[in-house]
């Protein structure tokens, strides 16, 4: 194994950080000394007598090995010449499986070499333990010293006992099954040319990558992706065509092919890291079905998660010799990098080479991205989480600080950390609510404690990640991340507001804080529209939830205040963003269009604000920043009428988070005391929130 040169002391990726070995003993020490001696000889450095003797002895040993192999090969050739014709008949049929057999032998050889250290691995995983056991062979000295070639031994064993071979294959180590071939490849089928494929991949990485994490431009090139997965290869190209105005016919052909490939992957049980990425890449822009719950998003997430677990993507990559000295990580949580590469179909790749490091990091990136996507889908759709917080998610805080990190590794790691730590925040707030049941407890003090906990959580995250992933001199969060953060805050209130032990003061706090978060979600979408042309479906759901939340609460705004009409105006602007993004090209067919139309319907049936009197509060001067749009959205006539009635409405879409909070906390914007008394929050965590405003229609 080639040793990496020493690196400066800095945080590294999971592979790099855990590959450092402080002490070499036994065979490892001898190999290291040989490597260093050979390096000194090759570099022309001054050699001492020890180096010269060591290299001379090594050459003598290699000469002896070559001589022994030549003699054995000559003897084998003489003994097998009479059987040549008979073997030729079987070689044709077995040639197709040569690559697969090589992978099996490489995996078996590696497991055999580390048999003693692997004997108790995966004791908590029966199937995995059986897979490892299938590689174990008798270890008596006579069988190990036999001159017979391992390949010949495997071949003869399979011929003598086909039933045993079949059983061994059944319990073999999990490995990839690639979805490639002339009947699957879009280039071979004539759907695209390779030049078009290269162009579409370049478009994806330059225009779409910031809203869909998981792929690496250095690893997942068009050529490499085509050799690994027709599903991912076609999915990336189809996603690119979706946002090209003149690519309608090509987009239709590619998406039809993607749908066929997805079904074939499920039916034929193909599996690879690239297939997990394909499901994740396809999810953001799935066309709407006949019902809000009718698309394939949840099914595709489930399939991607299943394949990820089958291929052990959730395990920490750590060399076995480093694991033996570790006291904090169990063997069941880890996977040797060599085994990981063998599972992925790269048994001959050195895990410490540049290629090996990039492939292993792509594995880690895939799982971290899957965790972020699944948690986001669950938060947006009110579903329970599926992917647990595994060891590599617990340790991902510094994963992006690596010499081989990609540009988007920071944003994806930041969201993984936020969504990972949400469970702790939820538990803290629930505990504070439960503790308020004491008759001597002060509800306002509990509310302040909860507010402090939530604010501290998001402030700490922003302090750690804002400078790292922020844009411009002010280090503002990218629009996509900004929406995710604001929605996460809103989801926090949504999951806690129904807690049965929350005192009245806490519910009052959630009223204003939740409204502020909802307005910030819509504000981020409006200001960042130009950078959100490829907005995922999940983000459209988040914006719609924020609009329904704000519209429902605005019904309890005080009479004569400009707050309610200002909120309705912001919702109108958000609706315009959803509709424009969903029709950015003639063939886009975005889900956001349906959500925009539904929100417009809810605005209409909920009616205007309760009072037609002009507001008494003074005009609030908005900031000078304007929405990031090529042209300002055209407001509907009904809204122009409202603007005539309330000339002092607040322009929330031009404000910052702090300015929105300041407006909501003004004395004239105190909500009615009846707020919450006749308001149902039971359906906060599922899609029934789409009907909230209808309940309050007058």
Q: Which residues contact 423 (CB under 8 A, 6 or more apart)?
A: 389
Quote the pLDDT of residue 669: 58
Quote the pLDDT of residue 590: 93
Backbone dihedral angles phi then psi of residue 476, each to the nearest 5 degrees: -75, 145
Of 337-351, 516-530, 654-668, least confident by mean pLDDT is 654-668
Q: Is 611 exposed, middle or buried (0-12, 13-18, 19+ CB in 10 A)?
A: middle
In this predicted model, what pLDDT tens digit does every residue of 170-208 receive, in sequence order? 877 788 999 999 999 999 999 999 999 999 999 999 999
* In contact, 449 and 432? CB cutoff 8 Å: yes
Domain ranges of the chain: 194-393, 411-695
Is the per-residue pLDDT at 13 higher than 70? no
Averaged over 345-370, what is the pLDDT? 97
Rounded distance, CA 320 to CA 325, Å? Answer: 9
Quote the pLDDT of residue 648: 60
* In contact, 696 and 507? CB cutoff 8 Å: no
Supply the angle between the helices 150-160 and 98-113 in degrees, to the nearest 10. Answer: 110
Quote the pLDDT of residue 252: 97
Of 109-113, 519-523, 643-647, least confident by mean pLDDT is 643-647
Give the model's confidence band at 451: pLDDT under 50 very low, under 70 low, under 90 confident, else very high: confident
Averaged over 392-420, what is the pLDDT? 95
Quote the pLDDT of residue 6: 53
Is the per-residue pLDDT at 9 higher than 80? no
For the chain, the straight-line distance linking the first and the last C-alpha, in angstroms and rounded, comes to: 75
Of 96-105, 408-417, 620-629, least confident by mean pLDDT is 620-629
* In contact, 145 and 281? CB cutoff 8 Å: no
Quote the pLDDT of residue 578: 96
DSSP letter at 46 equals -
Give the model's confidence band at 441: pLDDT under 50 very low, under 70 low, under 90 confident, else very high: confident
3-state helix, strand, coil in the chain (%, to 5): 65, 0, 35
Give the model's confidence band at 655: pLDDT under 50 very low, under 70 low, under 90 confident, else very high: confident
Quote the pLDDT of residue 513: 83
In this predicted model, what pLDDT tens digit does every residue of 89-109 receive, in sequence order? 444 444 445 555 555 555 555
Q: Which of 63-77, 540-554, 601-615, 656-670 has the highest mean pLDDT?
A: 540-554
Averaged over 359-377, what is the pLDDT? 97
Quote the pLDDT of residue 511: 77
In this predicted model, what pLDDT tens digit does every residue of 575-592 receive, in sequence order? 999 999 999 999 999 999
Q: Which of 142-146, 161-165, 417-421, 657-661 has the highest mean pLDDT?
A: 417-421
Is the per-residue pLDDT at 153 higher than 50? no
Averaged over 43-71, what is the pLDDT? 65
Residue bearing the bigger pLDDT, 227 or 81: 227
C-alpha distances (whole Å) from 134 to each of 120, 155, 271, 339, 347 are 14, 16, 21, 15, 18
Which percentage of the chain shows pLDDT scores above 90?
42
Rounded distance, CA 597 to CA 593, Å? Answer: 6
Give the model's confidence band at 442: pLDDT under 50 very low, under 70 low, under 90 confident, else very high: confident
Is the per-residue pLDDT at 620 higher than 60? no
Quote the pLDDT of residue 149: 45
Quote the pLDDT of residue 642: 41
Quote the pLDDT of residue 417: 97
Give the model's confidence band at 141: pLDDT under 50 very low, under 70 low, under 90 confident, else very high: very low
Quote the pLDDT of residue 359: 98
Averaged over 352-365, what is the pLDDT? 97
Residue bearing the bigger pLDDT, 507 or 127: 507
Quote the pLDDT of residue 437: 76
In this predicted model, what pLDDT tens digit does every residue of 546-572 receive, in sequence order? 999 889 888 777 666 678 888 999 999
Which percentage of the chain shows pLDDT scores above 70?
65
Averaged over 289-296, what is the pLDDT? 80
Rounded distance, CA 454 to CA 178, Å? Answer: 45
Residue bearing the bigger pLDDT, 555 or 317: 317
Quote the pLDDT of residue 560: 61
Quote the pLDDT of residue 265: 98
Q: Which residues contact 32 (CB under 8 A, 6 or more apart)?
A: 3, 24
Give the model's confidence band at 65: pLDDT under 50 very low, under 70 low, under 90 confident, else very high: low
Cα atoms found within 13 Å of the Cα of residue 28, Cβ hemisphere only: 9
Residue bearing the bigger pLDDT, 523 or 506: 523
- Cβ neighbour number for residue 68 with a 10 Å cutoff: 11
Nearest CA-CA partner of 155 in 112, 94, 109: 94
In this predicted model, what pLDDT tens digit does every residue of 488-516 receive, in sequence order? 988 888 766 667 777 777 777 777 888 88
Averaged over 330-345, what is the pLDDT? 92
Quote the pLDDT of residue 692: 45
Nearest CA-CA partner of 633 in 592, 578, 590: 578
Averaged over 597-603, what is the pLDDT? 93
Structure token pair of residue 192:
């695209």
DSSP 630-659: SSPPPPPHHHHHHHHH-TT---GGG--HHH
Average pLDDT of every residue of the chain = 77
């Amino acid at each position: 194994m080639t040793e990496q040169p020493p690196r400066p002391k800095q945080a590294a990726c999971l592979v790099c950080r855990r590959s450092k070995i402080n002490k070499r003993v036994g065979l490892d020490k001898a190999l290291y000394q040989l490597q260093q001696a050979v390096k000194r000889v090759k570099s022309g450095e001054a050699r001492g007598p020890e180096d010269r003797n060591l290299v001379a002895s090594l050459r003598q040993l290699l000469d002896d090995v070559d001589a022994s192999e030549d003699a054995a090969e000559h003897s084998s050739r003489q003994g097998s010449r009479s059987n040549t014709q008979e073997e030729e008949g079987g070689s044709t049929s077995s040639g197709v499986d040569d690559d697969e057999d090589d992978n099996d032998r490489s995996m078996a050889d590696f497991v055999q070499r580390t048999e003693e250290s692997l004997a108790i691995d995966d004791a908590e995983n029966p199937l995995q333990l059986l897979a490892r056991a299938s590689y174990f062979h008798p270890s008596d000295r006579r069988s190990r010293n036999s001159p017979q070639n391992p390949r010949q031994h495997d071949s003869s064993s399979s011929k003598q006992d086909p039933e045993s071979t079949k059983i061994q294959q059944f319990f073999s180590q999990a490995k990839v099954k690639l979805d490639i071939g002339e009947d699957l490849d879009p280039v071979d089928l004539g759907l695209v040319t390779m030049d078009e494929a290269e162009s579409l991949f370049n478009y994806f990485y330059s225009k779409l990558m910031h809203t869909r994490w998981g792929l690496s431009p250095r690893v997942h090139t068009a050529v490499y992706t085509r050799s690994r997965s027709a599903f991912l290869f076609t999915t990336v190209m189809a996603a690119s065509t979706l946002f090209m105005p003149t690519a309608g016919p090509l987009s239709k052909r590619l998406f039809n092919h993607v749908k066929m490939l997805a079904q074939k992957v499920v039916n034929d049980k193909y599996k690879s890291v690239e297939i997990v990425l394909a499901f994740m890449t396809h999810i953001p822009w799935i066309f709407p079905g006949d019902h809000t719950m009718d698309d394939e998003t949840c099914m595709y997430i489930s399939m991607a998660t299943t394949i990820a677990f089958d291929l052990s993507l959730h395990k920490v990559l750590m060399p076995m010799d480093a694991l033996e000295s570790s006291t904090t990580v169990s063997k069941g949580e880890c996977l040797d990098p060599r085994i990981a590469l063998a599972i992925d179909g790269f048994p001959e790749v050195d895990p410490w080479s540049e290629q090996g490091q990039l492939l292993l990091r792509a594995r880690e990136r895939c799982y971290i991205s899957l965790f972020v996507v699944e948690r986001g889908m669950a938060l947006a759709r009110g579903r329970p989480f599926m992917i647990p917080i595994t060891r590599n998610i617990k340790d991902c805080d510094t994963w992006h600080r690596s010499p081989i990190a990609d540009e988007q590794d920071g944003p994806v790691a930041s969201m993984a950390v936020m969504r990972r730590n949400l469970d702790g925040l939820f538990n803290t707030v629930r505990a504070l609510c439960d503790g308020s049941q004491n008759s001597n407890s002060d509800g306002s003090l509990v509310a302040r404690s909860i507010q402090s906990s939530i604010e501290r959580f998001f402030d700490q995250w922003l302090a750690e990640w804002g400078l790292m992933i922020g844009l411009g001199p002010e280090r503002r969060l990218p629009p996509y991340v900004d929406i995710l953060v604001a929605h996460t805050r809103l989801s926090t209130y949504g999951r806690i507001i129904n807690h049965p032990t929350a005192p009245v003061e806490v519910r009052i706090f959630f009223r204003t804080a939740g409204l502020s978060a909802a307005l910030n979600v819509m504000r981020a979408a409006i200001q960042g529209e130009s950078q959100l042309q490829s907005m995922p479906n999940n983000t459209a759901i988040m914006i719609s939830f924020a609009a329904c939340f704000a519209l429902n609460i605005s019904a309890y705004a005080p009479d004569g205040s400009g707050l309610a009409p200002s909120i309705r105006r912001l919702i109108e602007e958000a609706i315009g963003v959803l509709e424009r993004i969903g029709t950015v090209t003639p063939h886009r067919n975005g889900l956001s269009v349906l959500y925009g139309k539904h929100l417009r319907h809810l605005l209409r049936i909920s009616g205007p604000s309760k009072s037609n009197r002009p507001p008494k509060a003074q005009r609030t001067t908005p900031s000078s920043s304007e929405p990031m749009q090529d042209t300002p959205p055209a407001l509907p006539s009904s809204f122009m009428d409202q603007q005539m009635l309330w000339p002092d409405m607040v322009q929330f879409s031009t404000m910052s988070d702090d300015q929105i909070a300041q407006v909501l906390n003004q004395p004239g914007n105190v909500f009615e005391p009846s707020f919450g008394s006749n308001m149902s929050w039971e359906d906060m965590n599922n899609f029934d929130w789409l009907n909230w405003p209808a309940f309050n229609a007058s």
